[in-house]
Structure 1
Amino acid sequence: MLSTEDLALLEAIRETGSLSRAAVRLGKAPSTVSYAARQLEERFDALLFDRRRYRLQLTAAGELLVNEASRLMEDVSRLTQRVQQVANGWESRLWIVTDELVEFENLVPLIQEFDALGSGVPLRMTHEVLKGVWEALREGRADLVIGATNEPPAIPSLRWMQLGEMQWVFAVSPKHPLAKAREPISRATVSQHRAIVVADSARTSEGRTYGVSGGQPVMAVPTMRAKILAQCAGLGVGWLPRHRVDSLLKNGTLIEKQMADPREPNVLYAGWRGDQDGRALNWWLEKLKQPSLAGRLVQGIDLFV
């Protein structure tokens, strides 16, 4: 393994093209630098310096050595930092999974605030849908989940908190046949029309859909935004998060319809494993306990204003 002095010597020779100039840069005698260069070649049993030209250059072997050594020393430096980080109670990484419904825009200020701590903890932010969110926590693909729906499942050491309730509205395009249907609309009437649903991302269990009757035609889309756009285009019907489509209801792009079987609000949760404890996780949990932040995450952003 090269020492920092060895690497500095190689870098100085490569940049100055001369043992004497390298000695000046390093603040050492030329004889000392020349001896150190020969020692390096003996240690690796390879010609590292091309002395045939006026300007001293590294050979291909020398270039490989200095490049790889630099990379390895950077890796060692990062490893040292991570070891110290973990020893001080910070995690080596924090994996946060949100339900696809939670807009990343609402998390950006929180990430910036976390970065300002200078903890060195890398964040990994991914998203899942419906049951896929809890599944990520159970399968070890998340340290913290945000915006999970449904009742918390049976997961060893699971801990959770409620973020709030999300209100729903049954809305259709003015071009859709249900726009002129007599209210309240029955479930039997709705079942004659295609439902637009966001595809559940669960991998090890059967996915879940909301507000779909048996035998009703269904089109699954990847995101809530895609579902909203599909319903605006009259491709189908379904329940939408009220606060996220408020502007579309006001400008008539979507029409709210009263239903014979109204949908109950959904509680959104944050969940984590109680057997995991770190300063980064605890910091995020304290932030999520703030009613103002929890409210923004639950109500979401109307991206169609």
Structure 2
Amino acid sequence: MRFTLRQLEIFVAIAQSGSASRAAERLALSQSATSTALAELERAYSQVLFDRVGKTLRLNDTGQWLLGRATELLDRAQELEDTLSTQSAVGPLRLGASLTIGNYLATLFVADFLKQHPASRVQLAVHNSTDIVGAVARFELDLGLVEGEVQHPDVVAEPWLHDELVVFAAPDHPLAGKTRVSRAELLACDWILREPGSGTRATLDHAFGSERQQLRVRLELEHTEAIKRAVEAGLGLGCISRLALRDAFRRGSLVPLPVQGLDLGRAFYLVRHQNKYVTGGLATLIEHIRAFTGDATSTDDIALAPVA
């Protein structure tokens, strides 16, 4: 063969980072060694894999074709390495989760997974849904767990759990305590919302349809806990997953609003690249995630320990 696994590893790192210098940092190599390895790979097959735009390297069609296949080959090689090294190890696995899933579910089942597979390694990245899907599409993550609809031509999404968003307020808000709240009343209030690109924001925008332009968004925040604190402080209404509001509703620091005519249901999905090779370790992790939630079809069915 005219290529080595190391050359493919360097090629994938450059493709994912966009430059030889960032790939070198990621792989703990010198920039010259990284650039040389790429040049040798291209020269061996008389192929150019990147378009050079200033200091940035962008995959061309040939490079894009190679990326998925090189990633699969490296995954298979890593699986072989793990199996030969120890029969008990699973990984390393790169898992990504959207913020709601990452903050309230992922850390629990990852911790349980590592207890059952103590020699394994899992990297967990927590970002909004758009970022997670993008990372899966670029082969930067082995598996993603996201909220809401997934629309990417290179990604396969498998439904996992049903979830529901809830409009909520501070107990002293003018709408608190009402038996029915209309869309018009909601549009007349200030809102504290997740940022565009999050699954939560996409679900709310879809529910309001064309009226979403009328929402009086006072503040946009990336974290659900920050939104809860802002709503508790009386800055406006919020809308996040019921999963994230259980303890606040139990304590009475926040209250749900009985909104009429607003569909806030959504699904949680497991997402992976359509060309991603599913190693034995990744299959084990997916099986563990589904087993962890058991027969639950909704986040309401999952038993979580209350937080004081």
Instruction: Write 1 or 2 for the structure with the bigger share of helix.
Output: 2
Distance 1:297 1:131, change over 3 A: farther
Distance 1:144 1:114, change over 3 A: farther
Show structure 1 runs of 5+ residues with no match: 1-79
Q: Is the contact made by 1:97 and 1:133 (CA closer than 8 Å) also made in structure 2?
A: yes
Partners in 1 of 2:274 and 2:180 — Cα distance? 45
The one-character-per-residue Cα deviations of 1:43-101 (angstroms, maximum 9, x if unpaired) are: xxxxxxxxxxxxxxxxxxxxxxxxxxxxxxxxxxxxx9997337789887421101111
Structure 1 residue 270 and structure 2 residue 249: aligned? no
Among 190, 193, 196, the alignment partner of 1:194 is 190
| Corresponding residue of 2:224 | 224
Could you say which structure has the larger radius of gyration?
A: 1
SS in 2 for 1:289: helix
| Corresponding residue of 2:163 | 166
Show structure 2 runs of 5+ residues with no match: 1-76
| Corresponding residue of 2:39 | none
| Corresponding residue of 1:99 | 98
1:105-124 alignment to 2 at 5 Å?
Answer: 105-113=107-115, 115-116=117-118, 118=119, 122-124=121-123
SS in 1 for 2:204: coil
Partners in 2 of 1:294 and 1:134 — Cα distance? 26
1:1-305 alignment to 2 at 5 Å?
Answer: 84-85=81-82, 93-102=92-101, 103=104, 104-113=106-115, 115-116=117-118, 118=119, 122-146=121-145, 148-156=146-154, 158-179=155-176, 182-200=178-196, 208=202, 210-211=204-205, 213-218=212-217, 219-275=219-275, 276-290=277-291, 292-293=293-294, 295=296, 298-299=299-300, 301=304, 304-305=307-308
Partners in 1 of 2:287 and 2:299 — Cα distance? 17
Residues paired across the two proteins, number: 216
Partners in 2 of 1:192 and 1:81 — Cα distance? 56
**Cα shift at 1:226:** 1.5
The one-character-per-residue Cα deviations of 1:242-284 (angstroms, maximum 9, x if unpaired) are: 2432332233222222112233321101111242221221111
TM-score (norm 1): 0.59
Share of identical aligned residues, percent?
A: 15
The one-character-per-residue Cα deviations of 1:213-236 (angstroms, maximum 9, x if unpaired) are: 213222111211222222222222
RMSD: 3.4
Q: Is the contact made by 1:93 and 1:123 (CA closer than 8 Å) also made in structure 2?
A: yes
Partners in 1 of 2:220 and 2:299 — Cα distance? 23
TM-score (norm 2): 0.59
SS in 2 for 1:230: helix
